[in-house]
Structures are given as structure tokens and as C-alpha cells.
């Protein structure tokens, strides 16, 4: 990120670009690695959550068949693909190396950062302290997570109009700017080459960010 920021800043200074515009551009480009990592982490978390109900059913069946929770975790690590299989195998290895039960599952929850997984970990902690039928507890938890998935899908479908509106409204200025630059390049250059044009660009950019943030929060409903 520091290298990207320095390269963009140096290139802009050599081309005598407006300093305020240059700083905004440098920060935006330098933040791209974080945005990429955040997107990869979200995709990985969604893949984990999609397989979690199936893993809970697997643990429940293993417990009913007479296996311990630790051995069930090891079997999930072998039978399930990453990311779920790898994370559960890590927990299995940690408990075999002597890490306490609570600590191993707490670290799992911290690594994945999933609400559904947090429900599972909290349920295990409570059951570990108070006792009870863990197989029935996991069956109920798997059913709850599946129902949350269904509700999340319905909410996403109902909010699709708002998300498309945000996409269209956000892209319209860039589309019209491209069309105008193709039809009459001299007309759009006034916006790019004059101080008044730069001021308008800053104002418009700020208003667009605020509008996209508001629209995004309007259609983002937590389930």
C-alpha cells in the first residue's frame, strides 16, 4: 500500500497534477489491496457458512453413532473441503496438541468472524458447562441457520431493486461524461483543466460518495 501510494504520488508530481486530486487518487489506489483482501475474506466466509449446517448435521450423526466431539471434528476436517474442512481440522489438531477446548473454539470463531459460527461456538461452551444432549442441540442449530439462509435470500431478492438503482445512479455520471467527451472533447476539458471545474468535481465526488453510502445502508438489512 505504501509503495502504491508513493508511485502514484511521484507520477502525479512529475506531471504537475493538482495536489488535492492527486492525494485522493493516491489514497484510492493504495487502498485497493485492502479492498481485494476484504472481498476475498467475505467470499471465504460465505463459503464457510454455506457448508456449516451440513457440518453440524454430520457432527450430530457422529455423536449418535458413539463418536466423541473431537473425533467428529477430525472427520469433518477429512471429509469437507476448504475453508470449512481446513478450519475444523485446525481445531482438531489444536485440541490434540493440548490446547483447551474453549480456547480452540474461541480461536476458530475469531478466525472466521461468522455470526452463524459464533452461535455454534456459544452453544458448545454452554453445553460443555451445563451438559445436555449435544446432538439435539446441533440439530436445532442447523435448522435455525438454514432458516436464516432462506430469510437472507428473500431479503436479498426484495432489496434487489434498491441495489440496481444504486448501481445505475452511481454509474450515470461516468457514462454521460464518456459520451460528452466523445461528442465534444473541448466541452468536457473545461471541467478538467480549470480551477472551477476541479471544485465542481470535488463537490460532485463527495455528494456521490454520500449518496452511495446512504443507498447502500438502505438496502443492507441484517438477518
114 vs 169: which has the higher pLDDT: 114
pLDDT at 200 (0 to 100): 86
What share of the chain has pLDDT > 90, as a percent? 32
pLDDT digits (tens, 9 = 90+) for 12-65: 888 877 777 788 888 889 999 999 999 999 999 999 998 999 999 999 999 899
User: Buried (b) or exposed (e) across 122-154, using 16+ Cβ within 10 A?
Assistant: ebbeeeeeeeeebbebbbebbeebeebbeeeee
140-162 pLDDT, tens digit per residue, is 999 998 988 888 888 888 778 77
pLDDT score of 31: 93
Considering only CA atoms, which of 106, 108, 115, 113 is closest in space to residue 148?
115
- Residues 202, 196, 208: CA angle, nearest 5 degrees: 25
Per-residue pLDDT at 223 exceeds 90: no
Dihedral angle computed from the Cα positions of residues 64, 70, 76 and 81, in that order, rounded to the nearest 10 degrees: 160
Banded model confidence at residue 218, pLDDT cuts 50, 70, 90: confident
SS3 114: coil
Q: Tens digit of pLDDT for each residue in 88-119?
A: 999 999 999 989 888 999 999 999 988 889 98
Report the chain's mean pLDDT, rounded to a whole number.
87
Amino acid at each position: 500500500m505504501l509503495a502504491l501510494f508513493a508511485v502514484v504520488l511521484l507520477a502525479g508530481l512529475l506531471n504537475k497534477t493538482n495536489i488535492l486530486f492527486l492525494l485522493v487518487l493516491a489514497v484510492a489506489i493504495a487502498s485497493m489491496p485492502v479492498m481485494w483482501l476484504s472481498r476475498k475474506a467475505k467470499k471465504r466466509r460465505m463459503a464457510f457458512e454455506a457448508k456449516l449446517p451440513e457440518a453440524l448435521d454430520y457432527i450430530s450423526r457422529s455423536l449418535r453413532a458413539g463418536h466423541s466431539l473431537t473425533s467428529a471434528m477430525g472427520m469433518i476436517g477429512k471429509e469437507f473441503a476448504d475453508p470449512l474442512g481446513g478450519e475444523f481440522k485446525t481445531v482438531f489438531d489444536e485440541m490434540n496438541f493440548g490446547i483447551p477446548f474453549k480456547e480452540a473454539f474461541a480461536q476458530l470463531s475469531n478466525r472466521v468472524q461468522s455470526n452463524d459460527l459464533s452461535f455454534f461456538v456459544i452453544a458448545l461452551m454452554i453445553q460443555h458447562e451445563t451438559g445436555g444432549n449435544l446432538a439435539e442441540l446441533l440439530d436445532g442449530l442447523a435448522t435455525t441457520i438454514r432458516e436464516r439462509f432462506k430469510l437472507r435470500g428473500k431479503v436479498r431478492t426484495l432489496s434487489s431493486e434498491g441495489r440496481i438503482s444504486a448501481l445505475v445512479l452511481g454509474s450515470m455520471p461516468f457514462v454521460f461524461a464518456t459520451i460528452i467527451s466523445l461528442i465534444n472533447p473541448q466541452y468536457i476539458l473545461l471541467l478538467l483543466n480549470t480551477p472551477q471545474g476541479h471544485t465542481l468535481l470535488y463537490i460532485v465526488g463527495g455528494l456521490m460518495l454520500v449518496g452511495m453510502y446512504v443507498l447502500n445502508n438502505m438496502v443492507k438489512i441484517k438477518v
